[in-house]
């Protein structure tokens, strides 16, 4: 099980680096929003992982909040860009 | 801010749903939590009201279950497909924007179809034309007219599933008539 | 023991979905195809992770919250993807040379011609606004 945890951590780290690469490089603002949305999703995954490792469920509420904040954030930026043209 | 009138079909499912959310957030479904949640749901529904959703009043649970199973399979296929395309095709990908004309004019059905479409393999809603209920989809890895036609058929199939789940009787009759003709 | 194996498989599957999103973000050529990569694997990845958590803790009062968590994700991800995609299409952030078919562009072009004929040209995007929808009612496709 410990080995699996390490593997999962490694995969998540690679994924978050790839997403951050796009967020830094991303030619447009929308690319960055998209990439940061993925970063948020990976943070959520990492939260679940810590809960599994430490056998508690205290961070679940954070997961709900994170997904809602990600939603509101990307919708707000998308609307802003549409309005501004 | 006052409401016009209390509608049983629209408000009761919403209040029940909000009560469920309240209980789930407290991770406790005891009587006290539920009653307090019910009060809060009632207040929320009456003071922060949204434009009413046009529910048809029927809900076919069997059709819903069979659709959910198919949807989960589609979700897995979609994710694996994206992974596969990202690894093998990458920058050489060719896409298309395809218009799909839906049968239903109910906002709820169009929205649900758009949602499902965004999660089934290879498509994403870019624009919605509400007047003609047309979805404009961005399709991954589509280069010929046949591929586009297959995509249209898939979307119309998931719309048919939603009509079977919660469409009005008229839409259902239309769907049946169409099925017997073709 | 068996549950450990299942939890491991679910975790690795979920992590691979995050990796799919990452690879897709980096390798796909334009905004709209990147959006596919950002949307679909996220929903499945979260589902797998939450299933792993449910199996690991195995407590019943937790299940509704997990369901709620996933439902929120399921309902919000397509909406935000649609908003981003719409903004991208309207502000011309997509690369047209990568599109083989573009039926929305045909409609927009028709609408622009029609608007020009009926009224003096204005700045507004032809897709925006209800009166444009009505005016486009005759356009069949």
SS3 (DSSP) at B54: coil
B60 contacts B164 by C-beta, under 8 angstroms? yes
Expressed as residue numbers, the domain containing C34 is 2-97
* Model confidence pLDDT, tens digit, residues A62-81: 888 888 888 898 899 888 88
pTM: 0.83
Same domain as C27, residue C41: yes
Identify whether residues C13 and C62 lie together within a single domain.
yes
- The CATH fold assigned to A2-84 is Helix Hairpins (1.10.287)
B3 SS3 class: coil
Instruction: Give yes or no: residues C80 and C127 share one domain.
Output: no
Residue C129 clears pLDDT 60, i.e. is over it: no
pLDDT at residue number C126: 44
How does strand C99-102 pair with strand B134-139?
unpaired
Q: What is the pLDDT of residue C123?
A: 44
CA distance A79 to chain C (A): 7
Contact between C80 and C74 under an 8 Å Cβ cutoff? The reply is: no
Q: How many distinct structural domains can be found in chain C?
A: 2
Domain ranges of chain B: 8-47, 61-178
* A46 contact partners, CB below 8 Å, separation of at least 6: A12
Q: Do residues C114 and C55 share a domain?
A: no
Q: State whether C92 and C134 are in the same domain.
A: no
Question: Same structural domain for residues C91 and C108?
Answer: no
Instruction: Say if residue C67 is in the same domain as residue C115.
Output: no
The percent of residues in chain B predicted with pLDDT above 70, rounded, is: 90
C32/C65 same-domain check: yes
Closest in C41, C47, C105 to B82, CB measured: C41
Tell whether C45 and C80 lie within a shared domain. Answer: yes
Given a contact cutoff of 8 angstroms between Cβ atoms, the answer to whether A12 and A53 are in contact is no
Q: Which two tokens stand for residue C58?
A: 């195995």
**Under an 8 A CB cutoff, do C25 and A35 touch?**
yes
Give the pLDDT of residue B105. 82
- The answer to whether the beta carbons of residues A41 and C42 sit under 8 Å apart is yes
- State the nearest Cα–Cα gap between C134 and chain B, in angstroms: 7
pLDDT score for C132:
39
Chains linked to C by 3 or more Cβ pairs within 8 Å:
A, B
Q: What is the mean pLDDT of residues B120-145?
A: 83
Would you call A17 and C22 a contact, using CB atoms and an 8 Å cutoff? yes
Same domain flag for C115 and C89: no
Q: Which of residues 33-92 of B touch C (CB under 8 A)?
A: 75-76, 78-79, 82-83, 85-87, 90-92
Cβ atoms of C82 and B118 closer than 8 Å: yes
Q: Are C35 and B124 in contact (CB under 8 A)?
A: yes
**Residue extents of the structural domains in chain A:** 2-84
Domain shared by C62 and C116, yes or no = no
Tell me, yes or no, whether C88 and C20 share the same domain: yes
């Amino acid at each position: 099980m410990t080995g699996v945890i390490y593997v999962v951590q490694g995969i998540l780290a690679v994924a978050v680096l790839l997403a951050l690469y796009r967020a830094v490089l991303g030619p447009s603002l929308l690319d960055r929003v998209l990439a940061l949305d993925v970063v948020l999703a990976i943070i959520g995954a990492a939260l679940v992982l810590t809960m599994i490792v430490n056998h508690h469920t205290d961070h679940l509420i954070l997961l709900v909040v994170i997904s809602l904040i990600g939603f509101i954030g990307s919708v707000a930026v998308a609307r802003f860009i549409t309005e501004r043209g | 801010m006052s409401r016009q009138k209390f509608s049983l079909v629209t408000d009761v499912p919403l209040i029940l749903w909000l009560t469920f959310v309240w209980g789930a957030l407290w991770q406790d479904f005891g009587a006290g939590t539920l009653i307090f949640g019910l009060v809060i749901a009632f207040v929320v529904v009456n003071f922060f009201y949204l434009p009413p959703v046009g529910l048809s009043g029927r809900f076919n649970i069997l059709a819903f279950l069979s659709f959910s199973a198919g949807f989960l399979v589609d979700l897995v296929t979609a994710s694996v497909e994206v992974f596969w395309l990202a690894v093998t095709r990458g920058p050489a990908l060719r896409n298309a924007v395809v218009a799909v004309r839906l049968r239903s004019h109910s906002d709820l059905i169009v929205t649900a179809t758009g949602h499902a479409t965004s999660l089934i393999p290879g498509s994403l809603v870019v624009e919605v034309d509400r007047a003609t209920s047309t979805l404009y989809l961005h399709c991954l890895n589509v280069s010929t007219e046949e591929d586009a036609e297959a995509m249209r058929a898939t979307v119309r199939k998931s719309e048919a599933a939603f009509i079977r789940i919660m469409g009005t009787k008229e839409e259902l009759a239309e769907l049946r008539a169409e099925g017997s003709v073709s | 023991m068996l549950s450990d194996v299942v939890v491991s498989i679910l975790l690795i599957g979920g992590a691979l979905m995050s990796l799919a999103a990452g690879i897709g973000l980096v390798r796909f050529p334009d905004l709209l195809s990147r959006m596919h990569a950002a949307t679909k694997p996220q929903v499945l990845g979260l589902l797998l992770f939450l299933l792993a958590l449910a199996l690991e803790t195995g407590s019943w009062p937790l299940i509704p919250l997990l369901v709620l968590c996933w439902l929120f994700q399921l309902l919000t991800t397509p909406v935000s993807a649609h908003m981003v995609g719409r903004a991208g299409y309207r502000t011309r952030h997509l690369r047209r040379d990568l599109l083989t078919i573009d039926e929305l562009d045909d409609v927009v072009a028709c609408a622009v011609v029609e608007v020009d004929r009926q009224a003096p040209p204005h700045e507004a995007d032809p897709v925006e606004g209800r009166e444009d929808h009505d005016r486009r009612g005759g356009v069949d496709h």
